Amino acid sequence: MTKTRYALAGAGHRAQMYVDAIVGEHRDRAELVAIVEPNPVRAAYYADRLVAADAAPARVGTPEQLERLIREERVDRVIICARDDLHAELIVRSLEAGADVVVEKPLTIDARSAARIEDAVARTGRRVVLTFNYRYSPRNSALRQVIQDGTIGQVTSIDFSWMLDTNHGADYFRRWHREKKNSGGLLVHKSSHHFDLVNWWIRSQPTRVYASGGLRFYGAENAARRGLGERPARGTHDDGDLFELDLRIDERLSALYLEAEQHDGYRRDLDVFSEGITIEDNLALVVDYASGATLSYSLNAHAPWEGYRVAVNGTLGRAELEVVERGAVLAGEGLHPTLDPSLSGGDGTTDVRPEGERLIVQRHWEAAFEVSIDGGDGGHGGGDALLLSDVFAGPGDDPLARPADWTDGIRSIAVGIAGNRSLETGLPVNVADLGIALLDERP
Ligand SMILES: NC(=O)c1ccc[n+]([C@@H]2O[C@H](COP(=O)([O-])OP(=O)(O)OC[C@H]3O[C@@H](n4cnc5c(N)ncnc54)[C@H](O)[C@@H]3O)[C@@H](O)[C@H]2O)c1
């Protein structure tokens, strides 16, 4: 079998899922031939990983060398795992240099760069795959199936709230995500997962967004207001501070960030109560959809537990999905080295809030019933393995339409971008006014 030749752009934490898939499950069909990464320590981390897996070595280059590496190494596809605000430039340059793209969410962080991507796809005719792994979580797929089967009729409204706990949620306030110019804020960086789920669940697209929210827990001003006193310069855990991340406790975090800092000054463990945070930690939105449905959505990034609740109302009944990914973040346990509980299983199960998931469907005039959720092994209940199979082996004929491309990427960030504009102006924002041709359809 001829192997597809991959380049990796951005060799940080997220890159590992792709590199491991290339040298593992998909090694017969994929080969990593180039690593594009400005930090030599992180580039070497992944170059060494190839060697350890007995795979052919990859050429390592800086971001400026992207086109040259694509040309000289005959790269078929570039996997983009860099910071969110860098996605658009890397996508456009890769497409123009003759490669297809696989990109992490969010597609990009603002309307202008989204329009650039749209233009580059039209000019080059190349493919951009978006890796929306949440679609592949069995519980989210199960909800899509219920709606698609027509069990609850035509969807009229959705009520969706997402809780990020003081472990995982706090982590967005420690590094580049904490600045809106890098991540688009949680409405783009994090919630684009959730808005994509809604678009995909109800098979529609957003038309108007009203948002409200602010930074009310993290950040220097909130800390001062709550009298938190002087903050430690760096996480060491010696003083028992519950918000410090001690990079030394995790070999991978230490290798990727602590030992790499000297080259670019990228600090992975900034204090969540320090100056310089420009994103929100509490958000509420009302979103209208072309289908006529309305979404009420909220995100809280300092909850004592982690999970989500979504209720979908339809003309024939209602479906409710409740997920507890981590029942509690308990003092004294330290921060879990794997920060996203959905990847590892929670570490704070409590009796009154057991970790788990439940999908309940109730049709009018009938008793409620529970829909079984078929989970698998590995990250996101086996969802990551399914996603990687679609990415590397090519999507099959999926009745749930899980594989996503740049158009899904744009429709998902549209809500966050319009939401950010609404936060600035205090007014509802029409998605058609964002200046992205794909969204220029009024209901
Ligand atoms: N789908 C998910 O569940 C999920 C989870 C985590 C992260 N992500 C996404 O993955 C991406 C990477 O996140 P991360 O946590 O690995 O971040 P990270 O900061 O650990 O890694 C980003 C890497 O990009 C490198 N880089 C900087 N400038 C670059 C450039 N111009 N060209 C190429 N590389 C450059 C950095 O040095 C760093 O090594 C983000 O877009 C994030 O949103 C998705």
Mean pLDDT of 182-200: 98
CA of 63, closest atom in ligand 1: 32
**Averaged confidence pLDDT in the chain:** 94
CB of 10 sitting under 6 A from ligand 1:
yes
The percentage of residues in the chain with a pLDDT greater than 90, rounded to a whole number, is 84
Residue 45 Cα to ligand 1 midpoint, Å, equals 14
Residue 108 Cα to ligand 1 midpoint, Å, equals 12
Q: Given a cut of 80, is residue 295 above it in pLDDT?
A: yes
Mean pLDDT of 368-391: 87
Residue 348 Cα to ligand 1 midpoint, Å, equals 28
Which range, of 57-66, 83-92, 196-205, 332-341, averages the lowest pLDDT? 332-341
Provide the residue ranges of all domains of the chain, joining segments of one domain with +: 4-130, 137-217+277-376+406-439, 220-264
Q: Given a cut of 70, is residue 216 above it in pLDDT?
A: yes
Mean pLDDT of 120-134: 97
Ligand 1 atom 32: the closest Cα is on which residue?
63
Q: Given a cut of 60, is residue 84 above it in pLDDT?
A: yes
Residue 196 Cα to ligand 1 midpoint, Å, equals 20
Question: Which amino acid appears at position 307 of this protein?
Answer: G
CB of 80 sitting under 6 A from ligand 1:
no
Mean pLDDT of 78-91: 98
Q: Given a cut of 80, is residue 177 above it in pLDDT?
A: yes
Q: Given a cut of 70, is residue 188 above it in pLDDT?
A: yes
Q: Label residue 380 by pLDDT band (50, 70, 90).
A: confident
Ligand 1 atom 41: the closest Cα is on which residue?
84
CB of 204 sitting under 6 A from ligand 1:
no
CA of 36, closest atom in ligand 1: 33
Residue 309 Cα to ligand 1 midpoint, Å, equals 28
Does domain 137-217+277-376+406-439 correspond to CATH entry 3.30.1360.120?
no
Tell me the best of 37, 168, 181, 245 to mutate to test the pocket of ligand 1, counting ligand atoms within 8 Å of each CB and taking the most.
37
Q: Label residue 231 by pLDDT band (50, 70, 90).
A: confident
Tell me the best of 8, 13, 14 to mutate to test the pocket of ligand 1, counting ligand atoms within 8 Å of each CB and taking the most.
14
Q: Given a cut of 80, is residue 32 above it in pLDDT?
A: yes
Q: What is the pLDDT of residue 352?
A: 87
Tell me the best of 81, 84, 176 to mutate to test the pocket of ligand 1, counting ligand atoms within 8 Å of each CB and taking the most.
81
Distance from C-alpha of 403 to C-alpha of 133, rounded to nearest angstrom: 9
Q: What is the pLDDT of residue 232?
A: 75
User: Is the peptide bond prior to 354 cis by the omega test (within 30 degrees of 0)?
Assistant: no
CB of 47 sitting under 6 A from ligand 1:
no
Stronger pLDDT, 231 or 194, i.e. the higher one: 194
Q: What is the pLDDT of residue 442?
A: 53
CB of 82 sitting under 6 A from ligand 1:
yes
Residue 442 Cα to ligand 1 midpoint, Å, equals 34
Q: Given a cut of 70, is residue 385 above it in pLDDT?
A: yes
Q: What is the pLDDT of residue 178?
A: 98
Q: Label residue 335 by pLDDT band (50, 70, 90).
A: low
Q: What is the pLDDT of residue 441?
A: 65
Name the β-bridge partners of 213.
283
**What length does the chain have?**
443
Contacts of residue 290, Cβ cutoff 8 Å, sequence gap at least 6: 204, 205, 206, 207, 441, 443
Q: What is the pLDDT of residue 241?
A: 81
Q: Label residue 399 by pLDDT band (50, 70, 90).
A: very high
Mean pLDDT of 44-57: 97
Residue 82 Cα to ligand 1 midpoint, Å, equals 3
Tell me: the pLDDT tens digits for 90-122? 999 999 999 999 999 999 999 999 999 999 999
Span 4-130 CATH architecture: 3-Layer(aba) Sandwich (3.40)
Q: Given a cut of 80, is residue 57 above it in pLDDT?
A: yes
CB of 343 sitting under 6 A from ligand 1:
no
CA of 11, closest atom in ligand 1: 39
Mean pLDDT of 311-331: 95
Q: Label residue 334 by pLDDT band (50, 70, 90).
A: low
User: Is the pTM for the entire model greater than 0.75?
Assistant: yes
Mean pLDDT of 173-202: 98
CB of 171 sitting under 6 A from ligand 1:
no
Angle between helices 40-52 and 15-23 (to 10 degrees): 20
